[in-house]
């Protein structure tokens, strides 16, 4: 029997082990590095780089076979901080938010990220985009696009608008660019982006509305409809395009509650980037 899969975000801890003694590095020697909302690994020259919330990073140096602390750790600033702070933030719904979270990497030089007002916890959030120039892995200069991809606010989210967090971007079989995003409340959504600008496609630029077919909901968790927020225990989607199928991975249920956590990863697949995504029940 086939059923819709109701679908993920995740807190992951990376174990990075020193594989070679090299005085030119400060390798991560057997310690565990807490890394929240880890993006996919991207390759840049001789390095494999992993970004995570805070836009911090670690990287694997293939020439020296060692994991090393990267941007945002120690004396190396994280992307989009200080004089590189995006100019649009001060006039947005996340004007007082400091931490840039949950990066999603299109490639090693194109980053999507989100900012949310967790203190208000009302759905106020924005997704931004930045591109990098310079030498990998720690001398990259990241520059924001100057405007957000999309934002959400309390009123919109209460009326079914997607919560603008946890972006992940991917291309379809013919090169079109898509973003899956969202969390809790109304679930997870897919929208097409303009492949040349990396921002919303023309049909999506007017913004989300229940009637705008440019936005497609691909997953929702309605396991506890008594609670408007908890009812949407689903977040941090990622879509992987492989061999004629699109695989949607999501974090499901409740995280960050110690041994009481019920977090789990679910996966469904579709022949279309907008679904429906199905899971086979046996």
pTM of the model: 0.87
Res. 225: pLDDT tops 70: no
How confident is residue 229, by pLDDT bands cut at 50, 70 and 90? Answer: low
Max Cα separation, the chain? 60
Q: Which of 9-23, 113-127, 197-211, 245-259 has the highest mean pLDDT?
A: 197-211
- Write down the pLDDT at residue 21: 44
Question: Considering the domain 2-9+76-280 in this protein, what is its CATH number?
Answer: 2.115.10.20
pLDDT in tens, 178-197: 999 999 888 999 999 999 99
51 pLDDT band, cuts 50/70/90, is very high
Report strand pairing: 188-193 vs 215-219: antiparallel
C-alpha closest to that of 5 among 174, 212, 239: 239
Domain coordinates in residue numbering, the chain: 2-9+76-280
Q: What percent of the chain lies above the pLDDT cut of 70?
A: 84
Q: Does the pLDDT at position 248 exceed 90?
A: yes
The whole-number pLDDT of residue 221 equals: 84
**Tens digit of each residue's pLDDT (9 = 90 or more) over 29-45:** 545 567 889 999 999 99
Instruction: State the pLDDT at residue 281.
Output: 63
In the structure encoding, which two tokens stand for residue 29, read together? 């020697």
pLDDT exceeds 60 at position 6: no
Question: What span, in angstroms and rounded, lies between the C-alpha atoms of 239 and 77?
Answer: 30
- Average the pLDDT over 58-75 and give the result: 93
Query: Would the pLDDT of 12 be above 50?
Result: no
Residues 140-154 have pLDDT tens digits of 999 999 999 999 999
Residues β-bridged to residue 61 = 47, 66
Distances (CA, A) of 11 to 30, 39, 220: 19, 11, 20
Rounded mean pLDDT, 67-79: 93
- pLDDT-derived band at 2 (thresholds 50, 70, 90) equals very low
Instruction: Give the pLDDT confidence of 75-119 residue by residue, as tens digits.
Output: 999 999 998 999 999 999 999 898 999 999 999 999 999 999 988
Residue 231: the pLDDT is 54
Q: What pLDDT shows up at residue 164?
A: 97
pLDDT of res. 28: 54
DSSP for 9-72, please give it.
--EEEEE----S--TT--B--S-EEEEESPPPPEEETTEEEEEETTTEEEEEETTTTEEEE-TT
User: Averaged over 43-58, what is the pLDDT?
Assistant: 96
């Amino acid at each position: 029997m086939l059923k819709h899969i109701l679908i993920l975000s995740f807190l992951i801890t990376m174990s990075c082990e020193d594989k070679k003694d090299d005085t030119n590095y400060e390798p991560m020697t057997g310690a565990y590095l807490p890394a929240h909302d880890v993006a996919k690994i991207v390759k840049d020259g001789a390095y494999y780089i992993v970004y995570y919330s805070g836009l911090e990073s670690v990287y694997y140096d293939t020439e020296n076979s060692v994991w090393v602390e990267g941007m945002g750790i120690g004396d190396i600033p994280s992307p989009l901080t200080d004089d590189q702070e995006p100019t649009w933030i001060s006039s947005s719904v996340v004007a007082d938010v400091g931490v840039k979270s949950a990066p999603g990497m299109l490639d090693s030089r194109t980053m999507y990220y989100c900012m949310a007002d967790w203190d208000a916890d009302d759905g106020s959030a924005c997704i931004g985009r930045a591109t990098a120039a310079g030498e990998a892995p720690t001398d990259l200069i990241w520059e924001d696009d100057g405007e957000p991809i999309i934002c959400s606010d309390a009123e919109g989210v209460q009326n079914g608008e997607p919560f603008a967090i946890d972006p992940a971007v991917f291309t379809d079989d013919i090169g079109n660019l898509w973003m899956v995003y969202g969390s809790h409340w109304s679930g997870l959504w897919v929208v097409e982006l303009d492949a040349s600008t990396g921002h919303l496609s023309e049909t999506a630029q007017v913004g989300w509305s229940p009637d705008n077919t440019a936005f497609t909901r691909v997953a929702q968790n309605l396991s506890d409809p008594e609670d408007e927020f908890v009812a949407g225990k689903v977040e941090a989607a990622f879509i992987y395009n492989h061999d004629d199928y699109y695989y949607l991975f999501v974090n499901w249920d409740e995280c960050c509650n110690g041994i009481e956590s019920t977090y789990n990863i679910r996966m469904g697949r579709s022949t279309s980037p907008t679904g429906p995504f199905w899971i086979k029940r046996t």
